[in-house]
Amino acid sequence: MCGIAGKSYFSQNREIHPSELRLMSDAIAHRGPDDAGIYISKNRNVGFAARRLAVIDLSKRGHQPMSWANRYTITFNGEIYNFQEEKQKLIKLGLSFKSESDTEVILALYAKYGKGCLKHLRGMFAFAIYDQVENTLFLARDRIGKKPLKYFLDDTKIIFASELKAILTQTEIKKSLDYEAIHLYLNYGYTPAPMTGFAGIKKLEPGNYLFINFKNRSLEKRRYWEPKFKKKLHLSEKEWCQRILDTLEESTKLRMISDVPIGAFLSGGVDSSGVVATMATLSPTPINTFTIAFKNKQFDESNFAAKIAKKYKTNHHVLMAKPQSIEVLPFLAKQYEEPFADASNVVTYMVSQLTKKHVTVALNGDGGDENFAGYPNRYMRLKRDVDYDYWIQNIRPMAAKLFKSFPKANNFLEKAKLPLYSRFASYNRIFGPDELAANTLGEVKDLANTVDAYKIVDQCFRLFKGKDIKDAGLKFDLLYFLPDQLLAKVDIASMAASLEAWSPLLDQEMIELACQIPFNLKVKNGESKYILKKAFEKIVPKENLYRPKMGFTIPLNKWFSGKLNSYAKSVLLDKKSFIKDIFDTDYVKLMIEDNNKTQDFGPRLWTLMSLELWYRAYFK
C-alpha cells in the first residue's frame, strides 16, 4: 500500500538531512500518492521516508512513518491481512491502539515479540523498524516476496527503499554495472536475488530479515521462512479439493477487507477464474473485473474471461492491446529499474492503468502455477525426466544412433546427459550457456565461459530435503522465478499506476498447504495443475479449466514482424548501443533477419532490447 525508503549512518559524526529523505520520497511518489512523511531519529543517524496509498484506515491516524511508545518507529509497505485478529489478542494482553491501521499492529507486535513478530504476520510486507532505546534497525521482507526491499550497505551506512530509484538519489551512490547480474539476466530473463544489475545494490531475498545493532556495529541477516516439502498429507482427491477451496475462500475473504473499492484481474484462465468466482460468492454486490484482449486470436483469452464475467455477473471491462503499445517501452524500462525481460509487463501495466480508473485494489491469480505445477513446459518435462530417468539413461546410447537425423529427438537425448538441475533450468532459459559463450563479448563472455549460470538451481536441487526431487523444481520457482520475475512484474506495473495487487493463491496458508500436496497430484494424467483444476470444477466452467495454457503475454513473434521489428533494429543496431559492447553484432543481425524464418528469436530479441533500454535509462 506504500513506498518506503530510509538511510542510516553507523557513525555518530554523520547526520541525516530532511532534504535527502524528501529526494528519496519524491522518487517513489507513484507508490503512494495519498500521503507522505519523513522521520529523523533524535541522534539524527536514522531517517525514514514513507509514501502512502491508503487502503486501510484512510484517516490521518494511518500516517507514516508511525511511532509506538516513544521508542519504536516504522516505515511500512504492504498489507497485513490478519491484523484485526492479532490486534484483538494484543488488546487482551492490555495494549491499546490509536488507529485502525495494520501498521500500528506491526509496531505493537515488534514491541512485544521483537524479531518473533514475523511469525504473527500473514500478508505481504517490507518494512523497517528503528528502536531508539537499543539503537537497532530491523528490516524484513514477506515470505514469498510480494513487496520489494532493496538496499546499499557498506561499512558506514545503509540506504534502503522499495525501489532503486530512491537509493540512486543519494550522493554517496556511484552507479556501476554488475556484469555478473547481466550474465544471469541473459540466461533467466530476470535478475535473481540478491542481485539488481547495479554493483553494490542488493535486494533482500523473500523470507529474510536484516538486523543492525548500531551500538556494536553488528549485522545479522537470516532467513526466517522457506517453503518446506518434506511433510506430505495423505488425503483423497475429494478431501484435497475441499481443503483447497476452503483455504482459497479464507484467503480471498481476508483480502476483501478494505476501505477502498476492490476489483480483480481476469484472464479467463484457471487461477484468475477461481479467484473471481470466490470473490463473487463472498461479495453482496457485483465485483469489477478487468482483462486485456488481442486481435491475434492465438493470444486472446478475452472470450474465456467473458464467460466467467457473465456467469458471476461482474462489471466487466476490456482493453484492446496493440503493437503500438511499444511506445511505452522506455518508460517501463526505467520503471522496472533492473534488467527485466518478461514481455507481459506491457499488458500488465496497461491493465493496471485501466483498473485504477475504477478501483484501488485488484485481486489476481498469481501463485497458482508455482504452487500447483501449472507450467507444462517445465513441470511435465521435470516429471518425465525424473520418473523415466532410469529408462532414458539406459536407452540413450542406442537411441542416439537411431535418431541422429531427427533434431528434436537428438536434442532431447543430448540434454538427458546433463544433471537434472541443468535440464530443469534449460526448460525456461532465454539464451543457453553455449550460445552466450559463443556470441558474447568482453566481461560477459568471460563470465559465460567461467561461471555456471545455473548455480542457484543446482543449490536448490542439491540441498533439497524433501522425498520427491520433483518438488525441488517447485521450490526453485517459489524462491526465484516467482518473486524476481512474476511478482516484480506485477508490483512495478501496478504501483506505477498507483494500484494495489493482492494474491489470494499466495497466502501463507495456501503455499504451506500446497507444499504438502504430493507432486503426482499436481501433474497427473497429462494434466498440469491437476488437483487445483479438480477443486475448481465446482466453481469454474470446464471449458475454462481444460484448455491449452496461453499465458498472459504479448505475441512477440507477430509484433516483431511489424512496427516492433524496426524499433528493435534502431535500438539494438545503434552504433552507440550497450549491446554492441557485450554481444556479437552479426549474431544480433541474424536474429532480427531470421526471426520466424528459421526459428522464433522473439524472446531473445526482447531480452536484448529490454537490456539496452534499461542501460539507456540509468547509465546514459
Catalytic residue numbers read 2
CB 338 within 8 A of CB 483: no
Residue 120 neighbours by CB under 8 Å, 6+ apart: 82, 86, 109, 113
Burial class (CB in 10 A: 0-12, 13-18, 19+), 441: middle
Alpha carbons within 13 angstroms on the beta-carbon side of residue 82 total 17
Beta strands 500-502 and 288-294, pairing class: unpaired
Measured distance CA(604)–CA(594) in Å, rounded = 12
The angle that helices 602-619 and 563-572 make with each other, rounded to 10 degrees, is 50
Residue 434 neighbours by CB under 8 Å, 6+ apart: none
Burial class (CB in 10 A: 0-12, 13-18, 19+), 386: middle
CB 297 within 8 A of CB 550: no
Q: Cell 488481442: give the residue.
A: 294
3-state secondary structure of 490: helix
595-619 burial, b at 16+ Cβ within 10 Å, e below that, comes to beeeeebbbbbbbbbbbbbbbbbbe
Distance from CA of residue 176 to its chain's centroid?
A: 24
Burial class (CB in 10 A: 0-12, 13-18, 19+), 490: buried
CB 39 within 8 A of CB 47: yes
Q: Cell 486470436: give the residue.
A: 297
Max distance between CA atoms of the chain, in angstroms, equals 77
CB 580 within 8 A of CB 442: no
- Which triple of cell numbers denotes residue 70? 516513544
What are the beta bridge partners of residue 317? 290
Measured distance CA(592)–CA(8) in Å, rounded = 48
End-to-end Cα, the chain, rounded Å: 32
The answer to whether the bond into 330 is cis (omega within 30° of 0) is no
- Which triple of cell numbers denotes residue 355? 483498473
Residue 32 neighbours by CB under 8 Å, 6+ apart: 1, 2, 3, 50, 51, 52, 53, 498
